[in-house]
């Protein structure tokens, strides 16, 4: 995704790009706004990191849209670690 950012930045500077997430900020990413590289189809839904599946997304939109899925996966991984932690074995 690091290669996509300069390409998307140039397109934003040329007049803006549509936000690829459920936008709460007007639908277009304009120069000077905080933005992330977002997935059109999320990785959890079978999307890829191919440039054709990437686009500009307001930071707020991207983090609130994908944050729930990422948090769920992180919490599951933490629960598995806690359940296999050998330090808390009853004696």
- pLDDT tens, N- to C-terminus, the chain (91 residues): 568 999 999 999 999 999 998 887 789 999 999 999 988 888 878 888 899 999 999 988 888 766 566 666 666 767 776 665 566 656 6
Q: 43-46 long-range CB contacts below 8 Å, 24 or more apart?
A: 44/69, 44/73
pLDDT (0 to 100) of residue 42: 83
**45 located within any domain:** yes
Cα(32)–Cα(35) distance, integer angstroms: 9
pLDDT (0 to 100) of residue 21: 84
**54 located within any domain:** yes
Number of domains in the chain: 1
pLDDT (0 to 100) of residue 22: 80
**26 located within any domain:** yes
**40 located within any domain:** yes
Cα(6)–Cα(17) distance, integer angstroms: 13
Q: Look-up: residue for tokens 């050998």? A: 86
**90 located within any domain:** no
**Prediction pTM value:** 0.66
Distance from chain centroid for Cα 16: 19
Domain around 66: 4-80
**86 located within any domain:** no
**88 located within any domain:** no
**87 located within any domain:** no
């Amino acid at each position: 995704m690091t290669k996509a950012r300069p390409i998307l930045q140039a397109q934003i500077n040329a007049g803006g790009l549509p936000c690829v997430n459920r936008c709460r900020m007007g639908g277009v990413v304009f120069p000077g706004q905080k933005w992330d590289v977002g997935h059109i189809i999320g990785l959890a839904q079978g999307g890829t990191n191919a440039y054709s599946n990437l686009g500009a997304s307001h930071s707020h939109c991207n983090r609130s849209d994908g944050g729930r899925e990422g948090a769920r996966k992180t919490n599951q991984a933490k629960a598995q670690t806690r359940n296999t932690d050998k330090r808390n074995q009853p004696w």
